[in-house]
Amino acid sequence: MLIETINAWSELCPERIAHRHRDRMLNYAYLKTSSDALATWLYDQAELKEILRGRPIVVYGHKETEMLTCFIGCVKAGFPYIPVDSSTPAERVRQIIEASGAWLVLTMQRVPEGMVQAGIVVVDAVDALAMNQAGTLCLAGGDHLRLTSLPLPEWQVQDDEVYYIIYTSGSTGVPKGVQLTLRALESFLNWVNSAYLPEERNEVFLNQAPFSFDLSVMDLYMSLSTGGTLWSVDKDEISNPKELFASFAKSQTSVWVSTPSFAEVCLLDRSFNETLLPNVKHFLFCGEILTHDCASKLTQRFPRASVENLYGPTEATVAVTTLTITPDILSAFNPLPVGRVKPDAQVLICDTDQLSAQIASGKGILPHRPEELSEGKVGELIIAGPNVSVGYLNNPEQTSKAFFSWQERGQTWKAYRTGDAGLFKEGLLFYQGRLDFQIKLHGYRIELGEIEETLRRIPLVDNVVVLPIERRGKIEYLQAFITVGNPVEDEYNTVLALREDLRKHLPEYMIPRRFKFLDKMPMTPNGKADRRALLGGSE
């Protein structure tokens, strides 16, 4: 239904702007014709090259309007897409292409040299989509294809087929590709659209997150499915407050979607209030803790808007719980709850060790619902329902660790172990931190293990632990504690070299701000690096 719904907007309001990025705009009519053209071309190419249906396509760029055409074009031809932001280091992009088995890269920007290994076709989508009035698709190579037919409905990604794949940080040192089906996406959209936009249409959605983060799935598809306008701010605007606020003022944003961190930075400026953004109806937050302070400032500065705290991981399609942060909630709770569970999903609080044992003995399939802890007890948060991912792409080992299923009243429940700690109280879910070494820094999901593994591959490094350094209860930066084979003589230049090496593999937000060289790693009695002792010695 999703594709049909998006197509329908091109008939109902062809001129309406579907996406705006700076001065570039894409209307619903053009989104349809350009994605149809791309889908037809993709389908023909796949037939020619004997590419199997369902093999992914990488869409590489940032906030260009062509990104949307590429996403929709891919799924119209039966191929899931992998959005990769152009800020991703070349080596990581190469890793994603290789690990995913992508057969094509559609780019909006120059692909870094050496990024793509032999055999992968790169198409410059901006050129490719420079379609003229006569319905000709110009490809990067200069070929002009006349569009003779429209994509057929049966080509499209079907309910239980993978629609998109998002790569997240992986603790073993390699990013994991989370696969989400059309059914999962529709289950999420039906819920959020009926909760926040029961009648409204033609809203303007703020798009802050890059398309490679699952938060953007919320603004992108809430907007496209309801005939809205997606208003993207790019990374240069975000790093220039004057430009950013000018963009806000122009945008007429009515549905704000961002991480709480982004809103916190905006709130530092007193002019971030109703006068700047008079149309905002909803603030939709997800991805990290929404602090009491942030929520109360927003309710004061935007008294006519609702503030919503949504919770969920990429593996369960953006979010599974939500709560409107009313004055009553603000006076009753600090920290704030993350709310109530969407109707077609379940959230269970389980004992981690007991659950691990049950999953291991049942080889991932439980004969019954796992045992839950009683209300008020903290345990691992398990999410089950149609919104749960079908697993990590080409990664059975990590998939079997994180996903399992059980039978209940003749129905199979697909479940995901979040690694989050949580509890239920008065019917509300409370997030209680992590049970492992995954963290959120300024809204970015990071596995500390991935940074450690990347550092360990550098010959100089013997052993390493990376820790988040907190100030006033909030993670401020990362610090790496490193033991080396030979004493470091020139610390300054050694750190520069380590940083340079890391930058080849990791995005900027994963590079530790501080490095400390140790003679010896402090150890706990059971032989693990003593993180507590390290924190005591952090600077």
Is 64 among the residues that bind ligand AMP (CB under 6 A)?
no
Residue appearing with tokens 């600090």 = 334
The one among 420, 447, 450, 453 contacting ligand AMP by CB under 6 A: 420
Pick between residue 22 and residue 440 the one whose CB is nearest to ligand AMP: 440
- In whole angstroms, the minimum distance from the beta carbon of 505 to ligand AMP comes to 19
Place of tokens 């053209």: 37
Q: CA-CA distance, 308 to 437, in Å (whole number)?
A: 27
Based on the shown chain and the rule CB under 6 A, indicate whether residue 418 belongs to the binding site for ligand AMP.
yes
Residue 481 Ramachandran class (φ > 0 left, ψ -120 to 50 alpha, else beta): beta
* Residue (99 or 215) nearer to ligand AMP, CB: 215
Please pick, from the candidates 309, 317, 399, 479, the single residue that binds ligand AMP as defined by CB under 6 A: 309
In the shown chain, the binding pattern of residues 329 to 368 toward ligand AMP, with x for contact by CB under 6 A and - for none, equals: ---------x------------------------------
User: Rounded to the nearest whole angstrom, what is the least distance from the CB of residue 488 to ligand AMP in the complex?
Assistant: 35
Per CB under 6 A, the segment of 23-31, 40-48, 200-208, 312-320 that binds ligand AMP is 312-320
CB 483 within 8 A of CB 517: yes
Q: Which CB atom, from 209 or from 244, has the smaller least distance to ligand AMP?
A: 209
* 179 belongs to the binding site for ligand AMP (CB under 6 A): no
- Beta bridge partners of residue 19, listed in sequence order: 26, 230
Q: How far apart are the first and last CA of the chain?
A: 54
Pick from 281, 401, 440, 456 the residue near ligand AMP by CB under 6 A.
Answer: 440
- What minimum distance in Å lies between the beta carbon of 171 and ligand AMP? 13
Q: Map the footprint of ligand AMP across residues 375-394, applying CB under 6 A.
A: none
As measured in angstroms, the least distance from the Cβ of 309 to ligand AMP is 5
C-alpha dist (Å) from residue 281 to 115, 254, 278, 530: 43, 5, 9, 48
Q: Least distance (Å) from ligand AMP to the CB of residue 381?
A: 8
* Least distance between ligand AMP and beta carbon 438 (Å): 7
Burial class (CB in 10 A: 0-12, 13-18, 19+), 129: buried
CB 291 within 8 A of CB 307: no
CB atoms within 10 A of CB 391: 21
Judged by CB under 6 A, which of 314, 317, 389, 479 binds ligand AMP? 314
Residue 124 sits in the site that holds ligand AMP (CB under 6 A): no
**Cα–Cα dist 115/192, whole Å:** 38
437 lines the binding site for ligand AMP (CB under 6 A): no
Q: Closer to ligand AMP by CB, 166 or 266: give it.
A: 166
Task: State in angstroms the smallest separation of the CB of 535 from ligand AMP.
Answer: 20
**Amino acid occupying residue 345:** A
Task: Determine if 416 is a binding residue for ligand AMP (CB under 6 A).
Answer: no
Are 480 and 451 within 8 A, CB to CB? Answer: yes
Q: Are residues 273 and 299 in contact, defined by beta-carbon separation less than 8 angstroms?
A: no
Q: Does 313 help bind ligand AMP (rule: CB under 6 A)? A: yes
Strand pairing report for 474-484 and 461-471: antiparallel
Closest CA to 355 of 369, 375, 341, 345: 369
From candidates 287, 370, 385, 512, binder to ligand AMP by CB under 6 A: 287
The pair of three-digit structure tokens given for residue 111, joined into one six-digit string: 């692909």
Q: How far apart are CA 231 and CA 207, in angstroms?
A: 6
Nearer to ligand AMP by C-beta: 464 or 506? 506
Lay out the site mask for ligand AMP across 185-224 (x = CB under 6 A, - = otherwise).
-----------------------------x----------
The answer to whether 317 touches 188, Cβ cutoff 8 Å, is yes
Q: How far is the CB of 289 from ligand AMP (least distance, A)?
A: 4
Burial of 48 (0-12, 13-18, 19+ CB in 10 A): exposed
Which letter does DSSP use for residue 369 in this model?
P
Residues in contact with ligand AMP by CB under 6 A are 168, 214, 286-290, 309-314, 338, 418, 420, 431, 434, 440, 445
